[in-house]
Structure 1
Amino acid sequence: MPRILAPLLAGATYARLLHLMVGWIFAGVLLMVYPGTYHKGLGEIVVASVCVDAALLVLVALVPAARLAEGVQARLLLVPDRERDISAEPSRTWADRRRTAGWLIGRVALGSVVGFATIFGLTGGFDLLSGADSLRYLPLVPPALFGYGWLVVAAGRLQLAMAVRLLGPSPAERLAEAELRAERLLERNRLARELHDSIGHALTVTVLQAGAAREVGDREFTAKALEVIEETGRRAMEDLERTLVLLRESPDADSPATVTERPGVEQLPALFDTARAAGSPVEARIEVSAGELPRVLSRESYRIVQEGVTNALRYAPGQPVSVRIAVRDGQLELRCANRTAVAGAGAVRPAGGTGRRGGKGLRGIRERAALLGGEAGAGASTDGAGEWVLAVRLPLRLGS
């Protein structure tokens, strides 16, 4: 019983009734001002009204703003569960105009049915209840009201279904929305990689330096470790501020973070110094200058090498690290290798994972390489040198 009565008491039902009545009023006004309806039969009046209404509604649908206005009104009065099911955009194609015309004609027709049912029901009921035998018809009032209420409920739901079908997003709008969601997802993933690389590297260096200072107990070494921690933390803060600026909708032009350049290959020597200060010897051979590379390639190369060095510090602290950056056959080659740390009797613990097929860092490297049209791989060397090697190849011309 509550399920049957609940729609009759819902506010959405009467908002939809108002929406239906607007369509009926439109048809009624045209019927009153249309010349030649006097002294005509009901059939002739209905035919004339339908023809005139349909022609005017088709003309209205040709105006691009008509779809926008109808969409906004339908969102307000039809109370859809999700507003995105009904578009609030102007017509951009002829298909949008055809759908708008169908919606306007259907809306007026359905509203006219409900409007005439309301008028005839009220006048008929008044005539019966005001007659001499009014008491005989009094018991019919509750079921009549119940039936009328469910007529309004059904008409409102049908009107909503029509709006979703005819005023819903077009295929082009759905495609644009899907592309926008994909772009936002890619942007979030890129920001997540930025935070993982910069903050992850800073925390790794900080933990290693703090642990080494505690173990060594030498005042000079401790002072040097604190200096490295301070510098690393400052760079991490710059990266964090830069990422937060990207997250803001309207970044402040005067903010220091907006003018801070994202690091490129020219910043690699400072990265290697940080790794050396953490206790891992770094042998670097960079055979390309920053000016030779596109800015995006320089930036992504820095992040890739940073992740490789961070993995080496995390999983094989104190072991030598070898980095080589060179151009071969139109490809930028990045190679980061380090000795594996002994984890047990003859076993090795790879620098870049803990027995799994790559963590978030290596997955981020592969994603960066793929977006730039290149490829990346990581694993134990096959020459028996006992090294873990990260190798990346990127095209110098993006998109090639």
Structure 2
Amino acid sequence: MPVIFASLFRPVTYSRWLHLLIGWVFAGVVLLVYPGTEGLSVVRVVVLSAAVDSVLLTAVAMIPAMRRAEGVQARLLLVPEREESIGAAPSASWRDRARTALWLIARVGLGFAVGMSTVGVLTFGASLVRPSVGTGALLLPVLAFALLWLVVFAGRLQLWLAQKLLGPSAAERLAEAELRAERLLERNRLARELHDSIGHALTVTVLQAGAAREVADPAFRERALEAIETVGRRAMEDLERMLVLLREAPDAVPAEQPGIDRVGELLEGARAAGSPIEADVAVRGAELPGVLSREAYRIVQEGVTNALKHAPGAPIRVRARVEDETLVLSCRNVLVGGGRKGGGKGLRGIRERAVLLGGDATSEAVDGEWVLRVRLPVRLAG
């Protein structure tokens, strides 16, 4: 189909035409009430009608819900490619009310022009079909084509005005950006939680299963299976809690997140994997803000998991204490296989956790050991 005719066969052209005619109907109703048409010149009628319409529309635009109503109607009839380009929220400021007033005045003015053009073309076209006119009826397709293209351009102009005057305000765009950032941070946090919890469980399970296969002692195998069951159950609890958060079920209650008080259970599972662990945890969960206690647990979990992965069977030393209103966490293990690089996902996750809590994290090789140090301010975290 030629481009010149394509727009004339689009349904959106006629929904926009309807939107324009609604504005014309409003202007016509006001005109009949005041100032009327009898005894006044055309210019005077137009000027008085425009003044009355502007006052009424400005007054209506002061109602916050008017912006929402106009936005919803514009989305339905003007059909923008992106719905968010036209706002559908009540006015939140005087600037929003002013923009709504400009939109209403522009909408009615443009609708009045298109409505009068439509009536004029239909009236003139009706006069051409009279037998006395003769070949003048040949002008009907030309007039119809011109009217439809007027509607096409007026509809596009109406859509542009809606996007400019009803589009999201600066405050709404900022709020939307903040909401997107919060959702992204929440997804990243859940990804870290999954990485730390499931990664730790899989690491312990693999090490336990490998050791049980190599050792012929039935008692050792029994302890290995018990450790696998315990770690697996804990990982399932963490997974269920995160699935509840992802589903956002209003009546669902996520399982309680582990805090630093449960570090002992975590280390027991790691010891069962065959790595000697020396722990010095001189802090209780009640002494820390909840978020700091939970994040400290995850940091220790990731540190121990990395040690089990890169130095299976090597001694691990874990330390946690509060010094000068700062929670200091460290995890040390003997380097195996020439050392490690500090660019893994787990270490990046630890650094992200530390930064979000106003602290810092370092990881490096020191005197034949891999040392992870994390410092988290207790006061700022609360």
TM-score range, shorter-chain basis?
Answer: over 0.9
In the alignment, is residue 312 of structure 1 matched against residue 311 of structure 2?
no
Q: Which amino acid is the alignment partner of residue 99 of structure 2? A: R
Letter in 1 for 2:276: P
Measured after TM superposition, the shift of residue 261 of structure 1 is: 2.2
After the TM superposition, which residues 71-86 of structure 1 pair with which residues of structure 2 at under 5 Å, given as runs?
Answer: 71-86=71-86
The corresponding residue for 1:111 is 111
Whichever residue aligns with residue 373 of structure 1, its letter is G
Displacement after TM superposition at 1:305 (Å): 0.5
Asked if residue 219 in structure 1 is aligned to residue 218 in structure 2, the reply is yes
Question: What residue in structure 2 maps to residue 294 of structure 1?
Answer: 289
Q: Residue in 2 aligned with 1:327?
A: 322
- Provide the rounded CA distance (Å) in 1 between the counterparts of 2:245 and 2:274: 34
SS of 2:275 mapped into structure 1: coil
Q: Partner amino acid for 2:234?
A: R
1:395 aligns with 2:377: yes
Aligned to 1:345: none
* Aligned counterpart in structure 1 of residue 352 of structure 2, from 358, 362, 367: 367
Q: 1:362 to 1:172 in 2, by over 3 A?
A: same
Q: Name which of structure 1's ranges 150-159 and 239-248 shifts more when overlaid on structure 2.
A: 239-248
Counterpart position of 1:267? 262
Q: Quote the Cα distance in structure 1 between the aligned partners of 2:3 and 2:222.
A: 74
Deviation at 1:248, TM superposition (A): 2.7
Q: Which residue of 2 aligns with 1:234?
A: 233
Rounded to whole Å, the distance in 1 between the matches of 2:238 and 2:208 is 20
Summarize the alignment of residues 160-309 of structure 1 with structure 2, pairs less than 5 Å apart.
160-253=159-252, 258=254, 260-309=255-304
Q: What TM-score do you get using the length of structure 2 for normalisation?
A: 0.97
Report if aligned partners of 1:280, 1:317 keep a CA contact under 8 Å in 2.
yes
Contact 2:289 2:381 in 1 (8 A): no
SS at match of 1:263: coil
- Give me the whole-angstrom Cα distance separating, in 2, the residues matched to 1:36 and 1:251: 57
Give yes or no for contact 1:24–1:111 (8 Å, CA) kept in 2: yes
Q: Specify the SS of the correspondent of 1:284.
A: strand
Q: Is the 8 A contact 1:245 1:251 kept in 2?
A: no
Distance 1:211 1:2 in 2: 71
Check conservation: 2:128, 2:140, Cα contact below 8 A: no
For the residue of structure 2 that corresponds to 1:299, the secondary structure is: helix
1:162 & 1:79 partners in 2: Cα distance?
13
Equivalent residue, structure 2, for 1:62: 62
Cα distance per residue 1:208-257 (max 9 Å; x no partner): 1111111223322221111111000000011111111222323435x5xx
The 2-side partners of 1:124 and 1:217 are apart by 103
Letter matched to residue 143 of structure 1: V
Instruction: Please state whether the residue corresponding to 2:379 is helix, strand or coil.
Output: coil
- SS of the equivalent of 1:336 reads strand
SS of 1:377's partner is strand
Alignment correspondent of 1:42: 42
TM-score where L is the length of structure 1? 0.92
Q: Is the 8 A contact 2:365 2:371 kept in 1?
A: yes
Question: What CA distance in whole angstroms lies between the structure 2 residues aligned with 1:399 and 1:297?
Answer: 6
Deviates more, 1:286-295 or 1:223-232: 286-295
Shift of 1:37: 2.8
Question: Would the aligned equivalents of 1:374 and 1:392 in 2 still touch at CA under 8 Å?
Answer: yes
Offset from partner CA, 1:119-162 (integer Å, 9 cap, x none): 11111122122152322x23322222222111111100100000
Per-residue deviation, residues 252-308 of structure 1 (Å, max 9, x unmatched): 35x5xx3x3211111111111111110111011112222221121111111000000
CA distance in 2, matches of 1:391, 1:78: 58
State the SS of the aligned residue for 1:238. Answer: helix
Residue matched to 1:17:
17
Give 3-state SS (helix, strand or coil) of 1:210's partner: helix
Task: Find the aligned partners of 2:44 and 2:63 in 1 and give their Cα distance.
Answer: 30
Tell me the equivalent position of 2:339: 349
For 1:69 and 1:155, locate their aligned partners in 2 and report how far apart those are by CA, in whole Å. 21
Amino acid at match of 1:278: A
CA positional deviation for 1:61: 0.8
Q: What is the deviation of 1:35?
A: 4.1
- Note the aligned Cα RMSD (angstroms): 1.5
Report Cα offsets for 1:339-372 as digits up to 9, x if no partner. Answer: 1112xxxxx132xxxx4x4211111101110111
Runs of at least 5 residues in structure 2 that lack an aligned partner in the other structure: none
Name the structure 2 match of 1:5.
5
In structure 2, the residue corresponding to 1:394 is in which secondary structure?
A: strand
The structural deviation recorded for 1:36 is 5.0
Distance 1:44 1:322, change over 3 A: same
Query: How much does 1:399 deviate?
Result: 5.1
Structure 1 CA distance for aligned equivalents of residues 141 and 36 of structure 2: 40
Structure 1 gaps, min length 5: 343-347
**Matched residue pairs, number?**
382
The Cα shift of 1:96 comes to 0.7
Q: Distance in 2 between matches of 1:302 and 1:15?
A: 59
Residue of structure 2 equivalent to 1:142: 141
Q: Structure 1 residues 88 and 146, CA, compared in 2 at 3 Å: closer, same or farther?
A: same
Deviations, residues 77-135 of structure 1 (Å, cap 9, x unaligned): 11111111111111121101100100000000100111111111111122122152322
